[in-house]
């Protein structure tokens, strides 16, 4: 369903309220649409239904106590949030974490990226009526969650790592599971690719649906897969490499038109690249002695000197940054989270203007808006 | 030439303060010149901070209070107490607005800071430079009450319209004040 520019504007508009409690609205998103028949004339997103005051909470908790709160940002890939926050505090303290901790973080973060993309691609299929690929992908995600569960007990809200390193070595199950798991993930991705990519209905529903130009995307502050789908090759893992990302050999997939199809396809390819990264990180990990340190020397009570920093990582959705201002006490003076889908979602009215109502749902899914991260 | 020199070269006297901390460069500029400075940083060849990452509001009132209390404590004698009022002068501006910028071509990051005093909570909007500044400015307004002049739609973002306070200010209690939404504001058209 491409842009319906020929539809006559009658001026007889109907207002439709979608959400905040609606199965296709990914949690608690609400969009009020002014429609002319099936065409959207204007869409206004209202956010804040999942606002829990995470930043205010952060000002009243110590640096360590805030780690579990970051799980609740993007709950599809909690590990990426944990790593982003810990990296920011480590920058504030000016400490370097041990090599082994870096590699474990890379491995777990890339696993979280795969899990996040699987959910996004799977749900996009479900929202457009393709139910089967969802199961292929979700079974594999469950296997990844098994690894997380063996790491420290939680499946969704992992509270991974500590400030200054990680609390535990890779779980035993990772060593036995990973060689087989990567093949099954690849197989599931292949199945999805076969079922969707060249499917006539899928192509009709996704190709050319709410395209976005790279100039607009950059002006709106897009990052991550949504930006790469428009053709801008930007990935913090390549551009501002942290940990060992400059030593790994991987590609940054880019799209061309920035439409739903490109966003879907970029994510599908990124999963393969993540598998490559994990393999390389695992090889480096195995070369390290088994008793290599996991934690840097960190004082028990963290009191960073006065100052402010901004640190960002490439989370599955894009640039996830933490701005932390310290006043020299054991609690942060101000924490500002820069969630990737916050900046993406503000372009939503522009993205869906003139599209069909059904395409709004496709657009929302392909942007991968996570309410927990959006509202904080 | 490093980034610091380049920025100093370009902006010259507009820079009130320049801080480098853990590799992050922050410059402070006068409140009235924020649009001019950001426009220059965005467009001048060689710098091109063309990507707005985010806008952060900070309430510094608790920080000033703490510093004041600290200053008084060690000096118990009368002499110091006499000196205190002379030193104080006008109180420092309560709020800060920090613009996080990024240059896509060089991957350099820069923070531009302006200070906003409580008597004059009006700042020029930069939505004319980046359309993406829309929601971040709304959030700063929502959380701190700083108004942005020229913003196309300056409404609350995360809290509901009609919420009586600005929750990220330091004098707002963590547990809230028992505000309740009356859902009269749910209509848009």
Q: Are strands B109-116 and B24-28 parallel, antiparallel or unpaired?
A: parallel
Could A47 and B157 be called an inter-chain contact, meaning their C-beta atoms sit closer than 8 Å?
Answer: yes
Could B100 and A321 be called an inter-chain contact, meaning their C-beta atoms sit closer than 8 Å?
Answer: yes
B54 in a structural domain: yes
Q: How far is CA A243 from CA A46, A273, A276, A289, in A?
A: 37, 17, 16, 19
Q: Is the pLDDT of residue B82 over 60?
A: no
B122 in a structural domain: yes
Could B22 and A307 be called an inter-chain contact, meaning their C-beta atoms sit closer than 8 Å?
Answer: yes
For chain A, which residues make up each domain, given as ranges?
54-375
Q: Is the pLDDT of residue B180 over 80?
A: no
B173 in a structural domain: no
Could B100 and A310 be called an inter-chain contact, meaning their C-beta atoms sit closer than 8 Å?
Answer: yes
H helix or E strand, kind and range, residue B57: strand B51-59
CATH T-level fold of A54-375: Cytochrome-c3 Hydrogenase; chain B (1.10.645)
Residues of B in CB contact (< 8 Å) with A are 21-22, 24, 26, 50-54, 56, 58-59, 62-63, 66, 98, 100, 104, 107, 109, 111, 130-132, 134-135, 143, 157-160, 167-168, 172, 174, 188-189
B175 in a structural domain: no
Q: Tell me what the pLDDT averaged over chain A comes to.
A: 87
- The pLDDT value given to residue A1: 47
Question: pLDDT per residue over B87-108, tens digit each?
Answer: 556 778 888 899 998 888 888 8
* Shortest CA gap B120–chain A (Å): 22
Could B111 and A57 be called an inter-chain contact, meaning their C-beta atoms sit closer than 8 Å?
Answer: no
State the residue range of the domain holding B134. 3-75+91-149
Within 8 A by CB and 6+ apart from B2, the residues are none
- A-chain residues near B59 (CB < 8 A): 334
Distance CA A143, CA A121 (A): 17
- B-chain residues near A307 (CB < 8 A): 21-22
Going by C-alpha positions, the residue among A213, A49, A19 that lies closest to residue B131 is: A213
* Shortest CA gap B79–chain A (Å): 28
Task: Give me the residue from A216, A309, A342 closest to B22, CB to CB.
Answer: A309
Only one residue has tokens 């922050």, namely B26
Could B131 and A219 be called an inter-chain contact, meaning their C-beta atoms sit closer than 8 Å?
Answer: yes
* Own/partner pairs, A62-69, CB within 8 angstroms, 24+ separation: A62/A301, A62/A302, A62/A330, A62/A331, A63/A89, A63/A163, A63/A302, A63/A304, A63/A330, A63/A331, A63/A332, A64/A162, A64/A163, A64/A302, A66/A332, A66/A335, A67/A159, A67/A161, A67/A162, A67/A163, A68/A157, A68/A159
- The pLDDT value given to residue A322: 92
Q: Is the pLDDT of residue B151 over 50?
A: yes
Could A338 and B63 be called an inter-chain contact, meaning their C-beta atoms sit closer than 8 Å?
Answer: no
Q: How far is CA A8 from CA A2, A3, A4, A25, A214, in A?
A: 16, 13, 10, 29, 30
B102: domain CATH number is 3.30.460.80
Distance CA A327, CA A308 (A): 9
Q: Is the pLDDT of residue B188 over 70?
A: no
Question: pLDDT per residue over A117-176, tens digit each?
Answer: 998 898 888 888 888 889 998 999 998 998 888 888 888 888 888 888 888 888 888 889
Question: pLDDT per residue over A183-229, tens digit each?
Answer: 999 999 998 898 888 888 888 888 888 888 888 888 888 988 989 99
B100 in a structural domain: yes
- A-chain residues near B174 (CB < 8 A): 56-57, 60
Question: pLDDT per residue over B13-22, tens digit each?
Answer: 777 888 888 8
Prediction pTM value: 0.88
- B-chain residues near A32 (CB < 8 A): 188-189
Could A221 and B160 be called an inter-chain contact, meaning their C-beta atoms sit closer than 8 Å?
Answer: no
Question: pLDDT per residue over B157-173, tens digit each?
Answer: 888 887 888 888 888 88
Number of domains in chain B: 1
């Amino acid at each position: 369903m491409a842009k319906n520019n020929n539809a006559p504007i009658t001026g007889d508009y109907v207002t439709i309220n979608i959400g905040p409690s609606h199965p296709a609205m990914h949690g608690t998103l609400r969009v009020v649409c002014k429609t002319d028949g099936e065409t959207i004339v204007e869409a206004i997103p209202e956010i804040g239904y999942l606002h829990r005051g995470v930043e205010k909470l952060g000002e009243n908790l110590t640096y360590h106590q805030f780690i579990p709160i970051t799980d609740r940002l993007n709950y599809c890939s909690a590990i990426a949030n944990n790593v982003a926050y810990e990296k920011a505090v480590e920058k504030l303290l000016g400490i370097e974490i041990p090599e082994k901790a870096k590699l474990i973080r890379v491995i777990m973060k890339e696993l979280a990226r795969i899990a996040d993309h699987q959910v996004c691609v799977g749900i996009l299929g479900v929202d457009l009526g393709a139910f089967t690929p969802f199961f292929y992908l979700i079974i594999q995600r469950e296997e990844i969650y098994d690894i997380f569960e063996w790491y420290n007990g939680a499946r969704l809200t992992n509270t991974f790592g500590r400030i200054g390193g990680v609390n535990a070595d890779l779980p035993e199950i990772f060593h036995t599971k990973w060689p087989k798991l990567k093949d099954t993930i690849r197989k599931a991705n292949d199945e999805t690719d076969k079922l969707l990519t060249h499917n006539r209905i899928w192509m009709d529903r996704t190709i050319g649906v709410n395209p976005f130009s790279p100039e607009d995307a950059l002006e709106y502050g897009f990052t991550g897969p949504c930006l790469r789908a428009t053709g801008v090759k930007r990935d913090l893992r390549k551009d501002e490499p942290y940990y060992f990302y400059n030593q790994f050999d991987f590609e940054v997939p880019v799209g061309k038109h920035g439409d739903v199809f490109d966003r879907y396809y970029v994510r599908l390819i990124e999963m393969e690249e993540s598998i490559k990264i994990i393999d390389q990180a695992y090889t480096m990990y195995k070369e390290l002695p088994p008793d290599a340190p996991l934690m840097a020397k960190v004082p028990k009570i963290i009191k960073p000197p006065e100052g402010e920093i901004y640190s960002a990582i490439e989370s599955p959705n894009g640039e996830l940054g933490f701005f932390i201002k310290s006043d020299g006490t054991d609690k942060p003076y101000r924490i500002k989270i820069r969630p990737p889908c916050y900046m993406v979602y503000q372009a939503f009215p522009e993205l869906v203007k003139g599209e069909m109502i059904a395409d709004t749902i496709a657009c929302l899914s392909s942007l991968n808006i996570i309410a927990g991260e959006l509202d904080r | 030439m490093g980034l610091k020199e380049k920025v100093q070269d370009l902006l010259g006297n507009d820079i009130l303060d320049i801080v480098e901390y853990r590799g992050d460069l922050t410059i402070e500029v006068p409140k009235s010149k924020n649009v001019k400075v950001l426009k220059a940083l965005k467009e001048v060849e060689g710098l091109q901070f063309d990507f707005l990452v985010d806008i952060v509001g900070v309430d510094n009132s608790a920080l000033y209070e703490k510093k004041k209390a600290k200053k008084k404590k060690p000096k118990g004698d009368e002499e110091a107490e006499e000196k205190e009022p002379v030193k104080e002068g006008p109180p420092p501006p309560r709020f800060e607005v920090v613009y996080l910028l990024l240059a896509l071509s060089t991957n350099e990051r820069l923070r531009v800071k302006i200070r906003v005093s409580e008597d004059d909570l009006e700042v020029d909007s930069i939505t004319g430079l980046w359309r993406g500044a829309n929601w971040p400015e709304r959030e700063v307004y929502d959380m701190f009450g700083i108004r942005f002049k020229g913003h196309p739609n300056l409404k609350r973002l995360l809290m509901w319209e009609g919420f009586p306070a600005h929750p990220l200010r330091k004098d707002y209690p963590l547990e809230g004040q028992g505000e309740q939404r009356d859902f009269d504001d749910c209509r848009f058209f």
